[in-house]
Structure 1
Amino acid sequence: MILIPVVDLLQGQVVRAVAGNRSAYRPIVSGLCQGSDLLTVAQTLCEHCASSQLYLADLDALQGGPVQLAQLRTLLEALPDLQLWLDAGFADAAAAESLRGQLGPLADRVVFVFGSESLHSRAALAECFDPLQPGSAGRVLSLDRRGGQRLDAAGCWDAVDLWPRRVIVMTLERVGSDAGPDLDTLRELRAKAPGAMLIGAGGIRHEADLAAAQQAGADAWLVASALHDGRLPRRIR
């Protein structure tokens, strides 16, 4: 199972995500490192997971504010081998391409994540993942839900024919909740898209959960709390 460590960034600090209740997020307290500085936490998590990939949720942008551009630049410049998966509340392809222009050459190492909670229309979904559009191969779709309800104004969950090769199954109510992964939803989506790379998110507590998720059809998992709490051992490259 591929592990992709996660940082949730709010006003320049890494915070602990719990059940998608963003107003209650507080600076991370980690068993792996001191403080909530983005670079420190990101480097520590990547080393612990033996990963060159990092998922970053820009909570400022996701809540309608500006992208934390200076922090992104600092991270990408300091870790030249990092591939950054970035969810910054992109409503359409134009929003991601605007940020690409601001990042310049650093954007070559950014995978743009388009969340169903943020995409504003079915047309925007289709444009984002149209194989004839520049940059579409480097994009990921996140199918988001909270409290059992799909966050999906654009109808992403049912538009299987528009899904890209990589799809995140984001169960926000299980993030940081110690409730275990949502394997039923994972199995449902695996049946709909047998050839996709499915990346789960939310609920992982220990290695047994990862094994169960892999058996249910997950190719990778986004993790944070179980790492900070010392429940997933260090991996060796």
Structure 2
Amino acid sequence: MPFAVIPVLDLRGGQVVRAVAGKRAAYRPLGPGDSVLVETAEPLAVARAFRGLFPFGVLYVADLDAIEGRGDQLAVIRALASALPDVELWVDAGIADAAALEALLAVPRTVAVLGSESQRDAGLVRAVRDEPRVVLSLDWRGEKPQGPAELFHDPALWPARVIVMTLARVGTGGGPDVARLRDVLARAGGREVYAAGGVRDPADLGALRDLGCAGALVATALHRGVIGRGDLERLVAP
């Protein structure tokens, strides 16, 4: 199975923001000097810039407004889905109940990312773990898991795809959280495990592939041009 590199768009107030260390209050819109791919923070332009670099089949979208309980970017997500008919959107919109999940999945070609940090208990994940359009994100801040402990300790609750999200490493270039990924992989059975946070360069992506990860979420290294088209063509080869 090919290794998947999944570009990330963090949305706030209708713009793509630059994520650093999971400190969301400090996130600012992409601006001059932040990206070699695009000169605007407009979401569709950023998505198309990623696609201009490489024909990514999946983009990851974090709706920070929804995650923080300050409205949502569902209209932007709908516009992205409409404009990019050959792209699947993995969306973390702070979903914590069935109604919010249904609203997101009504948008074509979306996959709902259920962030552990947004869950009040394990009930929703338990109820939808067999839904093919659901991914679980196991979120950590430092060494502290975010969300119900049951989600971290009981792999029977995990859907077919699981993200290991180390928020403190997001946008820092600090390197992937290999020890935590190795632990989750050891307990994942046949599930696909995706790394999120800290990817610096093509060598990190290669190491994650060799570790057994199904893919990795990346933003900063793509915007900086550290990971280029040639690297992607080599890494995603079967």
TM-score with structure 2 setting the length: 0.91
Partner of 2:169: 174
Instruction: State the one-letter code of the partner of 1:211.
Output: G
Instruction: State the one-letter code of the partner of 2:104.
Output: L
1:193 is aligned, of 188, 192, 197, to 188
Partner of 1:17: 19
Aligned pairs for 1:1-237 (under 5 A) are 1-28=3-30, 29-101=34-106, 107-129=107-129, 131=130, 136-153=131-148, 155-234=150-229, 235-236=232-233
- Give deviations 1:86-142, integer Å, cap 9, x for gaps: 0000013332113344xxxxx23000110100111122221121x3xxxx1111000
Displacement of 1:154 = 5.6
SS at match of 2:228: coil
Stretches of structure 1 lacking an aligned partner (at least 5 in a row):
102-106
Instruction: State the one-letter code of the partner of 1:181.
Output: P
SS at match of 1:80: coil
Q: Which runs of 4+ in 1 moved over 4 A?
A: none
SS at match of 2:117: coil
SS at match of 2:222: helix
Q: Distance in 2 between matches of 1:94 and 1:70?
A: 17
SS at match of 1:117: helix
Q: Distance in 1 between matches of 2:163 and 2:62?
A: 13
Q: Distance in 1 between matches of 2:211 and 2:145?
A: 20
RMSD, aligned CA: 1.5
Q: Distance in 2 between matches of 1:213 and 1:206?
A: 11
Q: Sort the Cα spacing of 1:36 and 1:127 in 2 relative to 1 into closer, same or farther, 3 A.
A: same
SS at match of 1:210: helix
Task: Indicate if the aligned counterparts of 1:93 and 1:128 stay in contact, CA closer than 8 A.
Answer: no
Stretches of structure 2 lacking an aligned partner (at least 5 in a row):
none
Instruction: State the one-letter code of the partner of 1:85.
Output: W
Q: Distance in 1 between matches of 2:24 and 2:63?
A: 11
- Give deviations 1:20-71, integer Å, cap 9, x for gaps: 0000001112111111110000111133232121000000001002221221
Q: Distance in 1 between matches of 2:52 and 2:152?
A: 34
TM-score with structure 1 setting the length: 0.91
Q: Distance in 1 between matches of 2:170 and 2:58?
A: 19
Instruction: State the one-letter code of the partner of 2:11.
Output: L
Deviates more, 1:89-98 or 1:172-181: 89-98
Q: Distance in 1 between matches of 2:174 and 2:114?
A: 25
Percentage identity across aligned positions?
Answer: 47
Task: Indicate if the aligned counterparts of 1:3 and 1:49 stay in contact, CA closer than 8 A.
Answer: no
SS at match of 2:108: helix
